[in-house]
A and B are shown apart, each in its own frame.
Chain A
């Protein structure tokens, strides 16, 4: 059987009995679908009810299903202005592709489309050889990467959205994307009415973009005598100083020499206790250690920003007309269900098991290529051009990504 026909058959099996989740206010949302063997996306569609949506999905068997974060008066009008935008959920996309994990060098690889240069590990923004930005990524499902993404979701929701922005947990929906990350949808009235510009500012806030350390109490060559942040300060002030504190308390001498000359590194290392003490003191003060220039604190802080910021995809959050994956639909690249949940369920969520549509009975496939990956607590691979027995959910994943063909179900 052709791969496309097989996937369609498998997906039909799922959709014939699946319960489809409709987004709130379904009639005002635009829907878009990608179908097997068809170019592009069929979009500008709308449905009056979840029954209409479900019967469409059962009949047409999409490979990917999306709905708009936006609410429109006329969601099915093709001209974007003609749709009449009335607001949009505030959405976040956290994808393991954007988070650096050590295991990536074992299972992920990338290739520059222009010069052909390739390497294992996390894809760079541009090719180090020819500076091209056209990079092809080969990434894999991985427990460790997904755990890391989940940690980021918790930080995004608890630290940023609830504590700092004051959104309520009840207004949020967490969705496992069905692939390498999670989406967070905030649906309260304040969020829905935010402008494009406001969303860009929120995006920058969460990513720590445009941070001015001086404005957060860090001394610089030009600004001295500022009041240092306290470890218990809210927002970025506290986050930065806590990250600095954490870095210093665990830094080895070689960590420090990678950032400073030997003399400065040694001064910091030898005076760790005094530095930590003065940051803990109330009111806090910047440590005064003779011979230590005061720009060191800013330099350390700028290095740790990326560890305490959340790696959301800025294009998703700052887009007020984004199409998001429909919860309860299958992800065409993995065959896993895009699963929605509350934040309290996220802790115990197990992507492979909770989002499985095809179960774990064995089936036989021919695998052309697969690195060693750990998913659902088990290691699989590496495989290259071999026939293997695999749990159906794993087999469908490989078939969907074009790395395997089915031998027997």
Chain B
């Protein structure tokens, strides 16, 4: 059993594809050589498609073109140096890989897992595998669904049962990570031909207009602004000004907003204003706080005394009058007083 050249075009991240490329004797400097403009063009096309529709198509016409362009795209992305763009591309490629693998032959999934990632994977029966728990745990913790938690899997002698679809998901997550990390590596400074520069500029423009659309969307949700306690209001102002905030401040703000009924997406969007915003990290942390990850505990907002300890408490008259001990109590009392209803997840 081996991977054909067509397989390498579908899965150009695998070890065999990389070996194939080095057998062609390719170097980075050559990438921008006019002789390779077709490959470069396809690489740009991959990224543009990821930006526009969030997907990349597998094309099995010119196999070398697919193998090479996939491996050149991260170089372009690292020149651009925009993590959000790199992530969007990585996600789109990972989706493509997942969809291919899901319906491909079992032996290919096993070959890729074992040869390219050094995972310990055993074929069990058609569509069913066992993967060594340590390899399973490399990526399973980032998946939200309960069936990805180890405690909900069958684990025997270190082996975890996975279906073909699940193994495909693990492989594609690994691919996503690899593309993203390659795309965020600093590039040696090389002089780029002007046509390449133009193309990069074009890509930047497309992506920034795409990003503006996302950012201009109003944060929805049943949040009632005037009921926000002063501590949260102050954190919110700091955030909107783009101030860098300590961990406790972010944690307090995120837990409050989530508990007041805002969605994970809304909270992540809000944090885009933060000085050191990193979408992947922010999303991860907000999801963790919302109880979608890790121990699945939904975190409560710290109480007033804790906020005091961290210097984040700025009581107003209402706090004093009502002897408020918890930011959520303040919010609920004010909402109740106004006759409005607290949205979903309003308990704390």
* A interface with B by C-beta (< 8 Å): 163-167, 190, 193-195, 197-198, 200-202, 204-205, 208-212, 215-216, 233-237, 314
Task: State whether A209 touches B295 (Cβ < 8 A).
Answer: yes
Question: A164-B155, A234-B156 are known contacts. Are A210 and B296 too (CB-CB below 8 A)?
Answer: yes
What's the minimum C-beta distance from A215 to chain B, rounded to whole angstroms? 4
In the assembled complex, which residues on chain A have CB atoms less than 8 Å from the CB atom of B153? Answer: 235
Question: A165-B155, A210-B152, A234-B154 are known contacts. Are A215 and B140 too (CB-CB below 8 A)?
Answer: no
Q: Please report the C-alpha to C-alpha distance between residue A164 and residue B156 in the assembled complex, in whole angstroms.
A: 4
Q: Please report the C-alpha to C-alpha distance between residue A205 and residue B152 in the assembled complex, in whole angstroms.
A: 8
Q: Provide 23 A-B residue pairs closer than 8 Å at the C-beta atoms, listed in order of the A residue.
A: A163-B156, A164-B156, A165-B155, A165-B158, A166-B133, A166-B158, A194-B137, A197-B137, A198-B137, A201-B141, A201-B151, A204-B150, A205-B150, A209-B151, A209-B296, A210-B296, A211-B152, A212-B147, A212-B152, A215-B146, A216-B152, A233-B154, A234-B155
Closest to B142 in A: A197
Task: State whether B134 touches A190 (Cβ < 8 A).
Answer: yes
Instruction: Name which of B141, B150, B294 has the most chain A CB atoms within 10 A of its CB.
Output: B150
In the assembled complex, which residues on chain B have CB atoms less than 8 Å from the CB atom of A235? Answer: 153-156
Q: Give the top 8 A-B pairs by smallest Cβ distance, nearest first.
A: A166-B158, A198-B137, A197-B141, A166-B157, A215-B152, A205-B151, A201-B150, A234-B156
Task: State whether A200 touches B138 (Cβ < 8 A).
Answer: no
Q: Is B174 an interface residue (CB 8 A)?
A: no
* B interface with A by C-beta (< 8 Å): 132-134, 137-138, 140-142, 146-147, 149-159, 294-296
What's the minimum C-beta distance from B53 to chain A, rounded to whole angstroms? 31
Q: Please report the C-alpha to C-alpha distance between residue A190 and residue B157 in the assembled complex, in whole angstroms.
A: 13
Q: Please report the C-alpha to C-alpha distance between residue A358 and residue B23 in the assembled complex, in whole angstroms.
A: 71
Task: State whether A200 touches B152 (Cβ < 8 A).
Answer: no
Q: Please report the C-alpha to C-alpha distance between residue A236 and residue B294 in the assembled complex, in whole angstroms.
A: 18
Task: State whether B147 touches A201 (Cβ < 8 A).
Answer: no
Q: Please report the C-alpha to C-alpha distance between residue A314 and residue B296 in the assembled complex, in whole angstroms.
A: 14
Task: State whether A204 touches B157 (Cβ < 8 A).
Answer: no
Q: Please report the C-alpha to C-alpha distance between residue A215 and residue B132 in the assembled complex, in whole angstroms.
A: 20
Checking A164, A194, A197, A208 against B294 with a beta-carbon cut-off of 8 angstroms, the contacting residue is A197
Task: State whether A164 touches B157 (Cβ < 8 A).
Answer: yes
What's the minimum C-beta distance from B264 to chain A, rounded to whole angstroms? 18
Checking B133, B141, B158, B159 against A200 with a beta-carbon cut-off of 8 angstroms, the contacting residue is B141
Q: Is the interface of A mostly helix, strand, loop or mixed?
A: helix
In the assembled complex, which residues on chain B have CB atoms less than 8 Å from the CB atom of A165? Answer: 133, 155, 158
Question: A198-B138, A205-B150 are known contacts. Are A163 and B296 too (CB-CB below 8 A)?
Answer: no
Checking A164, A195, A208, A237 against B138 with a beta-carbon cut-off of 8 angstroms, the contacting residue is A195
Closest to A314 in B: B295
Q: Please report the C-alpha to C-alpha distance between residue A233 and residue B154 in the assembled complex, in whole angstroms.
A: 9
In the assembled complex, which residues on chain A have CB atoms less than 8 Å from the CB atom of B157? Answer: 163-164, 166
Instruction: Name which of A166, A216, A233 has the most chain B CB atoms within 10 A of its CB.
Output: A166
Q: Please report the C-alpha to C-alpha distance between residue A209 and residue B295 in the assembled complex, in whole angstroms.
A: 7
Task: State whether B137 touches A166 (Cβ < 8 A).
Answer: no
Q: Please report the C-alpha to C-alpha distance between residue A194 and residue B141 in the assembled complex, in whole angstroms.
A: 12
Q: Please report the C-alpha to C-alpha distance between residue A201 and residue B143 in the assembled complex, in whole angstroms.
A: 12
In the assembled complex, which residues on chain B have CB atoms less than 8 Å from the CB atom of A212? Answer: 146-147, 149, 152
Closest to A198 in B: B137
In the assembled complex, which residues on chain A have CB atoms less than 8 Å from the CB atom of B156? Answer: 163-164, 234-235
Q: Please report the C-alpha to C-alpha distance between residue A204 and residue B146 in the assembled complex, in whole angstroms.
A: 12
Q: A200-B294, A211-B152, A212-B152 are in contact. List 11 more A-B contacts (CB 8 A).
A: A164-B156, A164-B158, A165-B158, A166-B159, A194-B137, A197-B141, A198-B137, A198-B141, A209-B295, A210-B296, A234-B154
What's the minimum C-beta distance from B144 to chain A, rounded to whole angstroms? 12
What's the minimum C-beta distance from A55 to chain B, rounded to whole angstroms? 39
What's the minimum C-beta distance from A344 to chain B, rounded to whole angstroms? 20
In the assembled complex, which residues on chain B have CB atoms less than 8 Å from the CB atom of A215? Answer: 146-147, 152
Task: State whether A200 touches B151 (Cβ < 8 A).
Answer: no
What's the minimum C-beta distance from B90 to chain A, rounded to whole angstroms? 19
Task: State whether A211 touches B134 (Cβ < 8 A).
Answer: no
Q: Please report the C-alpha to C-alpha distance between residue A215 and residue B152 in the assembled complex, in whole angstroms.
A: 6
In the assembled complex, which residues on chain B have CB atoms less than 8 Å from the CB atom of A193? Answer: 134
Task: State whether A201 touches B159 (Cβ < 8 A).
Answer: no
In the assembled complex, which residues on chain B have CB atoms less than 8 Å from the CB atom of A204? Answer: 149-151, 294-295
Q: Please report the C-alpha to C-alpha distance between residue A208 and residue B155 in the assembled complex, in whole angstroms.
A: 13
Task: State whether B134 touches A194 (Cβ < 8 A).
Answer: yes
In the assembled complex, which residues on chain B have CB atoms less than 8 Å from the CB atom of A211? Answer: 151-152
Q: Please report the C-alpha to C-alpha distance between residue A208 and residue B149 in the assembled complex, in whole angstroms.
A: 11
Q: Please report the C-alpha to C-alpha distance between residue A234 and residue B152 in the assembled complex, in whole angstroms.
A: 12
Task: State whether B134 touches A201 (Cβ < 8 A).
Answer: no
Task: State whether B154 touches A201 (Cβ < 8 A).
Answer: no
In the assembled complex, which residues on chain A have CB atoms less than 8 Å from the CB atom of B134? Answer: 190, 193-194, 198
What's the minimum C-beta distance from B188 to chain A, rounded to whole angstroms? 25
What's the minimum C-beta distance from A312 to chain B, rounded to whole angstroms? 13
Q: Please report the C-alpha to C-alpha distance between residue A216 and residue B153 in the assembled complex, in whole angstroms.
A: 8
Task: State whether A208 touches B137 (Cβ < 8 A).
Answer: no
In the assembled complex, which residues on chain B have CB atoms less than 8 Å from the CB atom of A201? Answer: 137, 140-141, 149-151
Q: Please report the C-alpha to C-alpha distance between residue A233 and residue B156 in the assembled complex, in whole angstroms.
A: 10
Q: Please report the C-alpha to C-alpha distance between residue A193 and residue B152 in the assembled complex, in whole angstroms.
A: 23
Q: Please report the C-alpha to C-alpha distance between residue A167 and residue B151 in the assembled complex, in whole angstroms.
A: 17
Q: Please report the C-alpha to C-alpha distance between residue A202 and residue B154 in the assembled complex, in whole angstroms.
A: 13
Q: Please report the C-alpha to C-alpha distance between residue A236 and residue B9 in the assembled complex, in whole angstroms.
A: 41
